[in-house]
Amino acid sequence: MKSMLKRLSPFAPDQSGAVSALFEFGGLIVICDAGGCTGNICGFDEPRWFTRPSAVFSAGLRDMDAILGRDDRLVAKLQAAMKDSGLAFSAIVGTPVPAIIATDFQALKRMAEKRTGLPAITVATTGTRSYDQGASAAWLELFRTFAAERLPVEPGTAGVLGATPLDFPCLNAGALLSDTVAKLGWRTVRCYGMGAGLDAVRTASSAERNIVVAPSGLAAAEYLKKTFGTPYEIRCPWIPARTLETLSGLAGRNVLVVHQQYAANAVRDAVLSTAPETRVTVASWFMMTPELMREGDFHIESEEAFIESVANGGYDAIVCDERLRVALPRSLRDSVVDFPHFAVSGRLIEEG
Amino acid sequence: MKQAYSVTAAELAKRGVNDVPPELMSSANLVYSSPATLAFNSPGAQGFGVKRAGLAVPGSVMLLVAPACCGRNTAALGNEASLAERFFYLMQDDTDIVTGRHLTRIPEAVKEVCDACPEKPSAVMICITCVDALLGTDMERVCRKASDFAGVPVVPCYMYALTREGRLPPMASVRRSVYSLLEPAKKDPAAVNILGFFSPLRDDCELYALLRSAGVRSIREISRCGTFEEYKRMAEANFNLVLNQEARYAAADMEKRLGIPSVELARLYGPDRISKQYKLLGQAVGAEFDDSEPRSRAEDAVAAFRAKYGRRTFAVGEWLNADPFELSLSLIRQGFGVSEIFGTVGGANFVYVRRIAELSPGTKIYSNLSPTMMFYDGRDADCDAVIGRDAMYYHPSLPGVPWNDERQPFGHAGVRALFEALGDAFDGKEAAR
């Protein structure tokens, strides 16, 4: 059955992506749930939560809140928590509960802004979609809300869009990404959400160029291009060293790379740069930018489809998070090159 | 800058159980999430949440029917390979969560699960979530249909976080679920079940010996049942011993369906009150329990700790195998100080608050879930040791014990083990942290 997982467990959902994108910006984040979703997000999908105090809250919805749609109570609680907190904004992130009762997130946003006197962001995630969709919506809403002013362009300044631990499974991934972008010739690098905070978002229009490192950053990059004329390029400048080190062994083989599309493309480029005779196919469980797909690349629709594609693809090496190993044919399980993806496995690595 | 809200035991006792400050009530506020609160902010987050608890039935597997988000952390629960292989998922999409059309797929999904298992499972536990709570799904009916279709017992487990403070919270409901496969059986007067936990009591718990001294030959706990057949023999019990309030509903259901009455014991940390409780248990079951030896060992452990480390002052959390207020009261009565309690005040434990107020009126009571805990600063706290994983989060530099092992401490053996663990922590032994 297409909607079943029999070997794998679910990947990071949209609400985790939204929280991950917003985590470092100094806002009060309310997950509009009964408690379970918050436990999943904080306890599993947000590794930074364990390392620093953060303002992540559960709305603590109870059955009658959901049945009666008591948004006014939620906003009153939000107002009380925001009072004297020194936090810059509030963010309300959706889950299945508001999705079922058709919560009006626009109305929540207006009510929250009115009651707190501060900006509010709402992300209407449903818990049924993938993390990158939630992150994409959150990035877009963040820049729409705070990147309001057109500032003079500062030459040599680059913005990095789409960085979260879900795609870059290192707690210091922001610094690693910034360093690699700096080596491309940029004097100042703002890695939004992993190092660069709300002030950087407010001055986003002054960036000379944006670099989109994951599909979740693309919508915000397009928004900034449309609004301020900031050009962007898609480039994933950093992949884990231990993955890179093992790529040389793939020369001449039939390789499947499974990850977020931009990172997987970066691996393909790395392999082909030294071994152009290698056949490399990219596949992703997540959002894919059609223009960046090459012949044979494919989106993975289900576990069942993944198993079938791998079995029939003639691949002799798979570059993917090792968590996917259990869904591979036994003959291929020893041919996995580990390419950690936190959104898949919830596994962090250390590097740098 | 705001401060974390607290109230002294004296103030709280004076206000009474019907006038608990709103700052201590999770329903009146957003619920703060910190690593200190993870275990009780989510019915599936850590330890034995609904998902893992539902698999307490030997040989069972679980089908989680939910949006992907509800199954996400199961990957963490499944780090143990044998557990990971027992979880399956039927993921709901946007249309499912509005229309409930996923329900028609469940029988086929159950069959696919059975086909995917190397051996036919003893039961398929179906875990459903807030989505079906709001849809008003009649899961009993769906499970019957799935059972007929797949030829295997199918049992619902309700992971309804929305009802956490309701009449039947998820962790009480799942306890009923895991015993629901028991069928009426001939009673064995020498058999007793221990209900309440999903992992066994510590092997050194005196309760086993006391029951045996009263002629009990079979003491069954679900976590010690290695096979489904062994589990089914729990239906033979003469009575159930309920060691956790969350098992009350399951016990009542077993009494109704299987005719097994129950006796409830509380987990206590005061040797005198533990003895009193055993005496009452003896009266209830027509036996006399002699707990003098384990009691003496427990009291010796307390005395040895006190002699070596003095009258320490503790911060006590609630992410631990104890009621934080009962444990605090016991510590105070044994000559220690308790400067802070991180706990959830309610009708059941307010009696301890009143006694603490008499003996230690200045003890501060915090709610882990209060939004103001964002501003908690432990540097001003007047304590030099901690008990509880959450308390350790607030005071990372102080010696202490998490005291939330899966092996359940109980009775005098629990007291002894706690003070031995505290001694290890003060000696800097790694294991105690």
Give the per-residue pLDDT at B431: 43
Give the per-residue pLDDT at B307: 96
- pTM metric for this prediction: 0.94
Chain B neighbors of A67, CB-CB under 8 A: 134
- Number of domains comprising chain A: 3
Minimal CA separation from B209 to chain A, in Å: 39
Does B1 reside within a domain? Answer: no
Minimal CA separation from A314 to chain B, in Å: 25
Counted across chains A and B, CB pairs separated by less than 8 A come out at 213
Cα three-residue angle B211-B214-B216, rounded to 5 degrees: 60
Give the per-residue pLDDT at B41: 54
- Looking at the fold, whether A46 and A103 belong to one and the same domain comes out as yes
Average confidence score pLDDT of chain B: 93
- Looking at the fold, whether A129 and A165 belong to one and the same domain comes out as no
Q: Which of A39, A97, A130 sits opposite B41 (nearest CB)?
A: A39
Domain that includes residue A258, residue range: 241-344
Instruction: Give the Cα separation of B347 and B26 in Å (integer).
Output: 15
Q: Which of B265, B281, B312 is the last residue of a domain?
A: B265
- Looking at the fold, whether B11 and B139 belong to one and the same domain comes out as no
Note whether A9 contacts B38, CB cutoff 8 Å: no
Note whether A9 contacts B89, CB cutoff 8 Å: yes
Q: Which of A146, A177, A195 is the last residue of a domain?
A: A146
- Looking at the fold, whether A142 and A18 belong to one and the same domain comes out as yes
Give the per-residue pLDDT at B82: 73
If you average pLDDT over residues A8-12, what whole number do you get? 95
If you average pLDDT over residues A263-285, what whole number do you get? 97
* More confident of the two residues A53 and B203: B203
CATH at A278: 3.40.50
Minimal CA separation from B223 to chain A, in Å: 25
pLDDT digits (tens, 9 = 90+) for B154-194: 999 999 888 877 788 999 999 999 999 999 999 999 999 99
- Looking at the fold, whether B362 and B248 belong to one and the same domain comes out as no
If you average pLDDT over residues B300-323, what whole number do you get? 96
- Looking at the fold, whether A19 and A128 belong to one and the same domain comes out as yes
Note whether A67 contacts B73, CB cutoff 8 Å: no
Tell me which chain B residue has its CA closest to the CA of residue A62: B162
Minimal CA separation from A182 to chain B, in Å: 35
Does A24 reside within a domain? Answer: yes
Note whether A13 contacts B72, CB cutoff 8 Å: yes
- Looking at the fold, whether A25 and A118 belong to one and the same domain comes out as yes
- Looking at the fold, whether B54 and B122 belong to one and the same domain comes out as yes
Q: Which of B265, B282, B305 is the last residue of a domain?
A: B265
Instruction: Give the Cα separation of A321 and A344 in Å (integer).
Output: 7
Does A185 reside within a domain? Answer: yes
- Looking at the fold, whether B151 and B205 belong to one and the same domain comes out as no
Domain that includes residue B80, residue range: 47-164
Residue of B29, B33, B79, B117 to mutate, testing the A interface (most A Cβ within 10 Å of its Cβ): B33
**At B349, is the pLDDT very low, low, confident or very high (cuts 50, 70, 90)?**
very high
- Looking at the fold, whether B427 and B340 belong to one and the same domain comes out as yes
Chain B neighbors of A126, CB-CB under 8 A: 67, 94, 97
Chain A neighbors of B27, CB-CB under 8 A: 60, 62
Minimal CA separation from A92 to chain B, in Å: 12
Residue of B27, B31, B51, B167 to mutate, testing the A interface (most A Cβ within 10 Å of its Cβ): B31
- How does strand B124-128 pair with strand B154-158? parallel
Give the per-residue pLDDT at B163: 84
Query: DSSP alpha helices (H): ranges in chain A?
Result: 14-22, 36-40, 63-68, 71-82, 96-100, 105-116, 131-146, 173-182, 198-202, 218-228, 241-246, 261-274, 303-312, 342-345
Average confidence score pLDDT of chain A: 95
Paired strand residues for B31: A58
Note whether B134 contacts A97, CB cutoff 8 Å: yes
Note whether A12 contacts B72, CB cutoff 8 Å: yes
Chain A neighbors of B91, CB-CB under 8 A: 3-5, 10, 128
Chain B neighbors of A3, CB-CB under 8 A: 90-93, 102, 105
- Looking at the fold, whether B415 and B327 belong to one and the same domain comes out as yes
- Looking at the fold, whether A22 and A96 belong to one and the same domain comes out as yes
**At B415, is the pLDDT very low, low, confident or very high (cuts 50, 70, 90)?**
very high
- Looking at the fold, whether A309 and A338 belong to one and the same domain comes out as yes
- Looking at the fold, whether B209 and B137 belong to one and the same domain comes out as no
- Looking at the fold, whether B149 and B200 belong to one and the same domain comes out as no
If you average pLDDT over residues A218-242, what whole number do you get? 97
Does B143 reside within a domain? Answer: yes
- Looking at the fold, whether A99 and A38 belong to one and the same domain comes out as yes
**At A67, is the pLDDT very low, low, confident or very high (cuts 50, 70, 90)?**
confident
Residue B72 has pLDDT above 90, yes or no: no
**At B83, is the pLDDT very low, low, confident or very high (cuts 50, 70, 90)?**
confident
Instruction: Give the Cα separation of A72 and A53 in Å (integer).
Output: 28
Closest CA to B317 of B331, B304, B307: B331
Note whether A6 contacts B116, CB cutoff 8 Å: yes
Q: Which of B87, B108, B166 sits opposite A63 (nearest CB)?
A: B166
pLDDT digits (tens, 9 = 90+) for A295-327: 999 999 999 999 999 999 999 999 999 999 999
pLDDT digits (tens, 9 = 90+) for A73-108: 999 999 999 998 899 999 999 999 999 999 999 999
Residue A11 has pLDDT above 50, yes or no: yes
If you average pLDDT over residues A344-348, what whole number do you get? 94
Give the per-residue pLDDT at A10: 95
Instruction: Give the Cα separation of B197 and A309 in Å (integer).
Output: 44
- Looking at the fold, whether B89 and B196 belong to one and the same domain comes out as no
Give the per-residue pLDDT at A336: 95
Give the per-residue pLDDT at B47: 67
Tell me which chain B residue has its CA closest to the CA of residue A76: B29
pLDDT digits (tens, 9 = 90+) for A131-151: 999 999 999 999 999 999 999
- Looking at the fold, whether B399 and B325 belong to one and the same domain comes out as yes
Does A94 reside within a domain? Answer: yes
- Number of domains comprising chain B: 3
Rg of chain B (C-alpha set): 23
Q: Which of B33, B73, B130 sits opposite A58 (nearest CB)?
A: B33
Q: Which of A204, A234, A264 is the last residue of a domain?
A: A234
Minimal CA separation from B122 to chain A, in Å: 18
Could you tell me if the ipTM is greater than 0.85?
A: yes
Does B253 reside within a domain? Answer: yes
pLDDT digits (tens, 9 = 90+) for A104-121: 999 999 999 999 999 999
Tell me which chain A residue has its CA closest to the CA of residue B105: A1
Q: Which tokens sit at B138?
A: 């009649």
CATH at A83: 3.40.50.1980
> What string of H, E and C letters represents the secondary structure of A179-248?
HHHHCCCCCEEEEECCCECHHHHHCHHHEEEEEECCHHHHHHHHHHHHHHCCCEEECCCCCCHHHHHHHH
Does A254 reside within a domain? Answer: yes
Give the per-residue pLDDT at A62: 87
Residue of B130, B369, B372 to mutate, testing the A interface (most A Cβ within 10 Å of its Cβ): B130
- Looking at the fold, whether A256 and A323 belong to one and the same domain comes out as yes
**At B46, is the pLDDT very low, low, confident or very high (cuts 50, 70, 90)?**
low
- Looking at the fold, whether A44 and A129 belong to one and the same domain comes out as yes
Give the per-residue pLDDT at B79: 55
CATH at B223: 3.40.50.1980
**At B22, is the pLDDT very low, low, confident or very high (cuts 50, 70, 90)?**
very high
Q: Residue B112: count other Cβ atoms within 10 Å of its Cβ.
A: 18
Minimal CA separation from B340 to chain A, in Å: 20
Note whether B45 contacts A127, CB cutoff 8 Å: no
Closest CA to B352 of B73, B2, B13: B13
Give the per-residue pLDDT at B433: 40
**At B233, is the pLDDT very low, low, confident or very high (cuts 50, 70, 90)?**
very high
Does B182 reside within a domain? Answer: no
Minimal CA separation from A218 to chain B, in Å: 23
Note whether B30 contacts A81, CB cutoff 8 Å: yes
- Looking at the fold, whether B68 and B119 belong to one and the same domain comes out as yes
Q: Which of A218, A234, A250 is the last residue of a domain?
A: A234
If you average pLDDT over residues B70-81, what whole number do you get? 70
Query: Cβ distance A175 to A193 under 8 Å?
Result: no
- Looking at the fold, whether B160 and B195 belong to one and the same domain comes out as no
Tell me which chain A residue has its CA closest to the CA of residue B37: A39
- Looking at the fold, whether A18 and A81 belong to one and the same domain comes out as yes
pLDDT digits (tens, 9 = 90+) for B113-140: 999 999 999 999 999 999 999 999 999 9
Closest CA to B133 of B106, B108, B104, B170: B170
Minimal CA separation from B389 to chain A, in Å: 14
Does B176 reside within a domain? Answer: no
Residue B197 has pLDDT above 90, yes or no: yes
- Looking at the fold, whether A214 and A194 belong to one and the same domain comes out as yes
* CB contact set of B407 (below 8 Å; sequence gap of 6+): B199, B200, B201, B202, B203
Chain A neighbors of B89, CB-CB under 8 A: 4-5, 9-10
Chain A neighbors of B26, CB-CB under 8 A: 60
If you average pLDDT over residues A280-298, what whole number do you get? 98
End-to-end CA distance of chain A: 42
Tell me which chain A residue has its CA closest to the CA of residue B97: A100
CATH at B323: 3.40.50
Tell me which chain A residue has its CA closest to the CA of residue B28: A77
**At B27, is the pLDDT very low, low, confident or very high (cuts 50, 70, 90)?**
confident
Residue B206 has pLDDT above 80, yes or no: yes
**At B10, is the pLDDT very low, low, confident or very high (cuts 50, 70, 90)?**
very high
Residue B39 has pLDDT above 90, yes or no: no
pLDDT digits (tens, 9 = 90+) for A21-42: 999 999 999 999 988 899 889 8
Note whether B43 contacts A11, CB cutoff 8 Å: no
